[in-house]
Chain A
């Protein structure tokens, strides 16, 4: 590995050598001329000669430094050119990270990192917008279409009811989707959650569970709760989105009268929250995709969700410097586990 020196060290050494070399060359020239008897050696004591020697030395030194500055400037020029390309929208450009000096290497690394980050956001945007338009246009097309149909007078009562149900359903879905998308987009531009205040994590989980009481009591679910008393410091509101989403999903996929297990415990320097349902489970070939935007693994429940809930959970968990994982067995159930660091 090439050992890179600091620019300052290199400059000092370069200046030193320029000065030494220039003076050496000048003196050599003078002695050479003296040896060839063009000039008397004693003349070196004369001021005009000294001044002349000084000028010659300066000129030589300057001439030597010209190629040397190119040595320093060329990598910077290269980065400037790359920047122009990025400005024009090219996010694939990179600069060599092995540079002659430590500072330039750091600059190159930083530049490459920045372009990569920009590139990934851009990709999300394009991909996202096309997915998003499709996900929105579809229910809107239904709503518009059926609404127009309803203007007709010759529909049967059953048809009318059916079309109206569809409109109500799709509108509900759209409205949920809009809220999620808004939240997700806001989080897209966030890199870290605000420091937050200390609060009781177990109490927060209880409140989230209570929030969904109507849903779980409608399904006559049995709640199996084991919540350790844990005081956590973080963004309370953002975390509540994770819990409500996971609990909602758990309830949605639970069979009538099933059991929903919620565990909160501290494991060394982390807290773990797990939500387990006794639902149909997620097939192995789909389990990697469930955190993708707009992805819904279960077609039968497709109408009730919008595919963004888990994406949101993952994003928030990551912003809280934690992680989310899933374990599922077909026919048995699914467990989502969120792991967050705690001091």
Chain B
């Protein structure tokens, strides 16, 4: 059972968030401003924060900066009416993990929260389990059928990223930008080459597979799904 803290100065918004999140199976508590949020965090374990930006006193950006500067890495999703690219940039620089513009589609928000929690879990535990296959982030190794082998770094990062968000389609450019640090020598064909190597390596693994979505990119799917 995950604990989610909603920080919003508007009573009705807070009430609505609490209702939606509780129905989705989370344990929710609401703070009306940054200071109240900080005191709540002292007493309650928080897995994720849904953060409004426009609040009196400490605004959402300041709150996020404060948390990050003290080493708190709890996932934050900003939910705000501020919709310009400049605001989004400011949010991400302040340390938010995701950014949604009000009015939010409740279903989308729940999906994003689930994704953030899953990724946080993977990052925290530094391992990823898919069926009976286990990926170890520190060792860059994968254990399948009782055998452990290490992977070259780029290959490992690639499959780790794809499996962290199973079912999500990534374009070649997205994969390249994240894993290859904009090195000039790589191009999108390199991604294809690595994907093929991974497919070879995990050919007999029934826990997951890498699917090509024509024209768009790649996704990893679990088990026998498509």
Contact = CB atoms under 8 A, between A and B. Distances in A.
Interface in B148-188: 169, 171, 173
Interface string A201-227: 001001101100110000000011111
A223 B216 contact: yes
B82 to A, nearest CB: 13
Interface range on chain B (Cβ under 8 Å from partner): 10 to 19
Contact of B173 (A200, A223, A224): A200
B169 A225 contact: no
A217 to B, nearest CB: 10
A175 interface: yes
A237 interface: yes
B interface secondary structure, majority = mixed
A225 B103 contact: no
Nearest to A227: B215
Contacts of A262: 215
B169 A210 contact: yes
Contact of A225 (B108, B173, B216): B216
Contacts of A206: 171, 173, 215-217
B188 to A, nearest CB: 9
A255 B214 CA distance: 20
Interface residues of A, number: 16
Most buried by B among A210, A214, A223: A210
Contact of B216 (A200, A210, A214): A210
Contacts of A210: 169, 171, 216
Interface in A236-266: 237, 262
Contacts of A224: 215
B85 A225 contact: no
Nearest to B105: A172
B174 to A, nearest CB: 8
A209 B216 contact: yes
A175 B103 contact: yes
A224 B217 CA distance: 13
A203 B215 contact: no
B171 A207 contact: yes
Interface in B133-156: none
- Of A209, A224, A227, chain B has the most CB atoms within 10 Å of the CB of A209
A224 B108 CA distance: 26
Contacts of B171: 203, 206-207, 210
A207 B103 CA distance: 22
Interface in B54-86: 85
21 contacts: A175-B103, A203-B171, A206-B171, A206-B173, A206-B215, A206-B216, A209-B216, A210-B169, A210-B216, A213-B169, A214-B108, A223-B213, A223-B214, A223-B215, A223-B216, A225-B214, A225-B215, A225-B216, A226-B215, A227-B215, A237-B85
Interface of B: 85, 103, 108, 169, 171, 173, 213-217
Interface of A: 175, 200, 203, 206-207, 209-210, 213-214, 223-227, 237, 262
